[in-house]
Chain A
Amino acid sequence: MSKQEWPLYEVFIRGQHGLSHRHVGSLHATDAEPAIQNARDVYTRRKEGVSIWVVPAAAITASSPDDKGSLYDPADDKVYRHPTFFDIPDDVGAM
């Protein structure tokens, strides 16, 4: 008999107020609420965060690695899309 695994959840943690949630890893849980508790125990033992999001991994639609060429390569020779060609007035300061 094969062991039935709990569904996979992706975990996002916000390190401090004002920052955005960042993907920190994944874990298994029976449901969303237990996933929050598991994330609290697995990923915030050392005060890593002030807020947790969990998302069912199955709900994430990901780009296909096979499409890498057509998706990203065309940007290679379009350096003008970087804002480095603009002269920044000194008054603006550090950006």
Chain B
Amino acid sequence: MSVPGLIRLGDNTLVLGQRLSEWCGHAPALEEDIALANMALDLIGQTQLWLGLAAEREGEGRSTDTLAYHRDAWDFRNLLLVEQPNRDFGVTMMRQFLFDSWHLAALTALCNHTDADISAIAQKSVKEVTYHRERSTDTVIALGDGTEHSHTRMQSALDRLWPYVGEMFTTDEDDLTDMAALRPAFDAHVTAALAEATLTRPGNDFAHQGGKTGARHSEHLGHMLATMQVLPRSYPDASW
């Protein structure tokens, strides 16, 4: 049964896409603003594919919109990392870098999935995410190896978000691929990038968990969903 695994993938891209769209009109430079909005739109587009396939396979009459707008926080199966607040640009780009590094490895594995629909979505997404990872990696390196001030901010962003890395590599039978097997590819990219960024990888690998199982989302998800879902819930017949 692939539905729970599809919902996990779709919820990751949905929640992170919504988070990134919060930057629209607020990013530190016009060029970064457009880039963040582009990335948000890429992720929302991927969400439509993952949740669309999940809804279709589930066969209970739910649509992509039903899944996105009419589920509550405890029904979401996204990683804790992606629901973390944007805070500042450094934290946002560090979150993006960590997610992209996992996301690209996951999509690369899913390109070879035996299920043709799943591999087709992965093959479409992997091109977008290759660019996402390139951009977020370059930004982390530029800011980490930038001024003393930017270095301090990026190190603190890394220290803040590192406890959310471990959950990406927990795996169970709902996952569409063995997430634990992605760790070497993730480590290789992240270690090289952090070295170039002169940032220190935290020594403690303690990992918060409960996002992808839905057992223990952080308090941030509910607030984000309230904003995201208010319109379709208040005006169920609205179209736009």
Q: Which residues of A contact B (CB under 8 A)?
A: 6, 27-31, 33-34, 37-38, 40-42, 45
Map CB proximity to A onto B122-165 as digits: 1 under 8 Å, 0 otherwise. 00000000010011001000100000000000000000000000
Taking the complex as formed, is B231 at the interface, i.e. its CB lies under 8 A from any CB of chain A? no
- Contact status A28-B29, CB under 8 Å: yes
Q: Which residues of B contact A (CB under 8 A)?
A: 29-31, 34-35, 38, 131, 134-135, 138, 142
A-B contact pairs, 26 of them (CB 8 A): A6-B29, A27-B31, A28-B29, A28-B30, A28-B31, A29-B31, A30-B142, A31-B142, A33-B138, A34-B138, A34-B142, A37-B35, A37-B138, A38-B31, A38-B34, A38-B35, A40-B131, A41-B31, A41-B34, A41-B35, A41-B38, A42-B30, A42-B31, A42-B34, A45-B34, A45-B38
Q: How far is the CB of A61 from chain B (nearest CB, A)?
A: 25
Contacts of B142 in A (CB 8 A): 30-31, 34
In angstroms, Cα B38 to Cα A45, docked, is 8
Q: How far is the CB of A33 from chain B (nearest CB, A)?
A: 7
B contacts with A: majority SS: helix
In angstroms, Cα B139 to Cα A34, docked, is 9
In angstroms, Cα B142 to Cα A38, docked, is 15
In angstroms, Cα B32 to Cα A28, docked, is 10
In angstroms, Cα B38 to Cα A42, docked, is 9
Contacts of A34 in B (CB 8 A): 138, 142
Closest-by-CB residue of A relative to B139 is A34
In angstroms, Cα B130 to Cα A37, docked, is 13
In angstroms, Cα B131 to Cα A34, docked, is 12
Closest-by-CB residue of A relative to B36 is A41
Closest-by-CB residue of A relative to B31 is A38
Closest-by-CB residue of A relative to B143 is A30
Contacts of B34 in A (CB 8 A): 38, 41-42, 45
Contacts of A41 in B (CB 8 A): 31, 34-35, 38
Q: How far is the CB of A27 from chain B (nearest CB, A)?
A: 5
Contacts of B31 in A (CB 8 A): 27-29, 38, 41-42
Per CB-CB distance, the 10 closest pairs between chain A and chain B, nearest first, are A38-B31, A41-B35, A41-B38, A41-B34, A42-B34, A27-B31, A37-B135, A42-B31, A28-B31, A28-B29
Contacts of A29 in B (CB 8 A): 31
